[in-house]
């Protein structure tokens, strides 16, 4: 058989693996970056909304202090009738204590919706009516805030200030009349408060997301390394399985050629010679009956042995129905060829071991490989097979008194391609079991496999 140099194909295959791993790493990093961006955007929205709410609550608290602590003690019932002195006194107080770069307008409303006072004189005495929200605040005695609708008639003199936040709460004159105290504050103060919150929170957020992203990179590389290693192991296992399959086919072909075919050829020659002798008995000496019987007996014996060899090969190629026939009968079939060759065999196994079908097949394959090695390589004179069921696991033991082997001999056999038990060991490990082989030169070999029942 001509060896084919597949180094170019292997290089392309490894290149494809590296490309696959590279794409997976890129996807992982891209997903991490996208997650970091989503976290950042989500955090920005949440913190911005929370900062805005805090700023509005702060503005409301300040307005309550100003309304009930500054304005309400200075109110007089004369305001209700528009007395100029009362208006001038309150106006002086508002300009001194309330108005500021942030607070640009102050109004006092009656329950009927009339402007009792404003720092904008053109509004005093005018009737606009109170919106539902402000009426509710006046009736319930609570403070409230919302963004001003500068298109309303009562806000015509505030349009030049831009976006405003209006805060209102009820206050009372000395005579007990309820008035609605309202301030208009620049919304830029709210934005500045949001910025101050962000200025303290944003560096921490960026550092945390950057750290998270940086940590993901080595993790992705590590996962990529594991993926590459897994692909290499899978490729090696597949290659070993293919090689083992090829070797198994060659072994079966060799066994057929050296065993069954040779025996049938001998039978054919013997019977052919007998036929020629019987056909020529009229012109030569007659053939004795004893010679014919002996030849036929020998042919029958050779035929029976060939049939036994064929049956052994059939069992190896296609195991019997292990669940229906029982694991003990299947193991007995494996021992029969050894017994026919004069090897002393002993079997200790229950009819059913409580194994699932995949586990039964796996145990059978391990026993098959161990007994094949005992007969073909170890030249054992005694072989013993024991199968035990304990708890949720089954234990198979195969002992022979053959010539055994050293670790170096085992490694040499593996390099030569004899990897039957090694491949089975991988399958056993994948099934959650264990396979141990103990041997030393001149002291035989012991193969022990434990597998879960299911």
And the tokens for 412? Answer: 């040499």
And the tokens for 16? Answer: 């494809």
State the pLDDT at residue 398.
92
Backbone region of residue 320 per phi and psi (left: phi > 0; alpha: psi in -120 to 50; beta: other values): beta
State the pLDDT at residue 2.
38
And the tokens for 154? Answer: 């009562």
State the pLDDT at residue 428.
82
- Measure the CA–CA gap between 331 and 227, rounded to whole angstroms: 40
- Measure the CA–CA gap between 71 and 65, rounded to whole angstroms: 9
pLDDT lower than 70: segments of the chain: 1-22, 24-25, 47, 194, 197-198, 201, 213, 236-261, 274, 276-291, 306, 308-309, 311-324, 353, 410-421
DSSP states of 353-385: ----HHHHHHHHHHHHHHHHHHHHTS--SEEEE
Tell me the C-alpha to C-alpha distance, in Å, between residue 434 and each of 214, 368, 429: 40, 17, 6
Q: Which domains does the chain have, with CATH numbers?
A: 20-247 (3.30.450.20), 338-454 (3.30.565.10)
Tell me the C-alpha to C-alpha distance, in Å, between residue 265 and each of 32, 143, 306, 345: 72, 113, 10, 31
Burial class (CB in 10 A: 0-12, 13-18, 19+), 102: middle
Burial class (CB in 10 A: 0-12, 13-18, 19+), 74: middle
**Model confidence, pTM:** 0.43
State the pLDDT at residue 311.
65
And the tokens for 238? Answer: 């597949």
State the pLDDT at residue 439.
86
- Measure the CA–CA gap between 289 and 220, rounded to whole angstroms: 86
3-state helix, strand, coil in the chain (%, to 5): 65, 15, 20
Listed in sequence order, the DSSP H helices in 67-186 are: 72-74, 84-97, 132-140
Contact assessment for residue 386 and residue 349, using Cβ atoms and an 8 Å cutoff? yes
Identify the three-state secondary structure at position 417: coil
């Amino acid at each position: 058989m001509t060896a084919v140099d597949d180094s170019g194909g292997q290089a392309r295959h490894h290149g494809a693996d590296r490309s696959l791993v590279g794409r997976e790493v890129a996807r992982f990093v891209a997903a991490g970056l996208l997650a970091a961006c989503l976290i950042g955007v989500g955090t920005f929205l949440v913190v911005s909304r929370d900062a805005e709410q805090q700023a509005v609550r702060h503005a409301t608290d300040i307005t309550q202090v100003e309304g009930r602590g500054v304005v309400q003690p200075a109110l007089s019932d004369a305001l209700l009738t528009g007395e100029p002195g009362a208006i001038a006194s309150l106006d002086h107080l508002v300009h001194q204590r309330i108005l500021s770069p942030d607070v640009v307008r102050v109004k006092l409303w009656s329950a009927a919706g009339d402007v009792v006072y404003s720092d904008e004189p053109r509004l005093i005495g005018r009737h606009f009516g109170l919106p539902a929200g402000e009426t509710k605040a006046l009736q319930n005695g609570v403070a409230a805030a919302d963004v001003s609708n500068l298109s309303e008639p009562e806000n015509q003199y505030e349009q030049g200030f831009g976006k405003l936040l209006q805060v209102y709460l009820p206050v009372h004159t000395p005579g007990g009349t309820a008035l609605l105290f309202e301030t208009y504050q620049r919304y830029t103060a709210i934005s500045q408060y949001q910025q101050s919150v962000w200025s303290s929170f944003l560096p921490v957020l960026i550092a945390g997301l950057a750290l998270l992203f940086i940590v993901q990179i080595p993790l992705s590389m590590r996962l990529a390394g594991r993926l590459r290693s897994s692909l290499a192991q899978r490729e090696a296992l597949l290659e070993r399985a293919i090689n083992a399959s090829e070797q198994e086919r060659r072994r079966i072909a060799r066994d057929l050629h050296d065993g069954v075919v040779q025996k049938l050829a001998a039978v054919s020659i013997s019977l052919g010679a007998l036929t020629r002798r019987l056909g020529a008995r009229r012109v030569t000496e007659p053939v004795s009956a004893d010679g014919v019987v002996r030849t036929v007996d020998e042919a029958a014996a050779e035929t029976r042995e060939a049939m036994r060899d064929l049956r052994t090969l059939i069992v190896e190629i296609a195991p019997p129905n292990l669940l229906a026939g029982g694991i003990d009968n299947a193991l007995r079939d494996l021992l029969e060829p050894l017994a026919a060759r004069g090897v002393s065999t002993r079997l200790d196994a229950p009819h059913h071991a409580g194994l699932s079908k995949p586990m039964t097949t796996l145990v059978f394959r391990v026993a098959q490989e161990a007994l094949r090695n005992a007969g073909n390589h170890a030249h054992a004179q005694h072989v013993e097979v024991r199968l035990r069921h304990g708890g949720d696991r089954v234990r198979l033991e195969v002992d022979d008194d053959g010539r055994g082997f050293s670790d170096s001999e085992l490694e040499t056999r593996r390099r030569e391609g004899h990897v039957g038990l090694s491949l089975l060991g991988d399958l056993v490990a994948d099934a959650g079991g264990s396979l141990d082989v103990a041997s030393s030169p001149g002291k035989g070999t012991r193969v022990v496999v434990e597998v879960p029942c299911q």
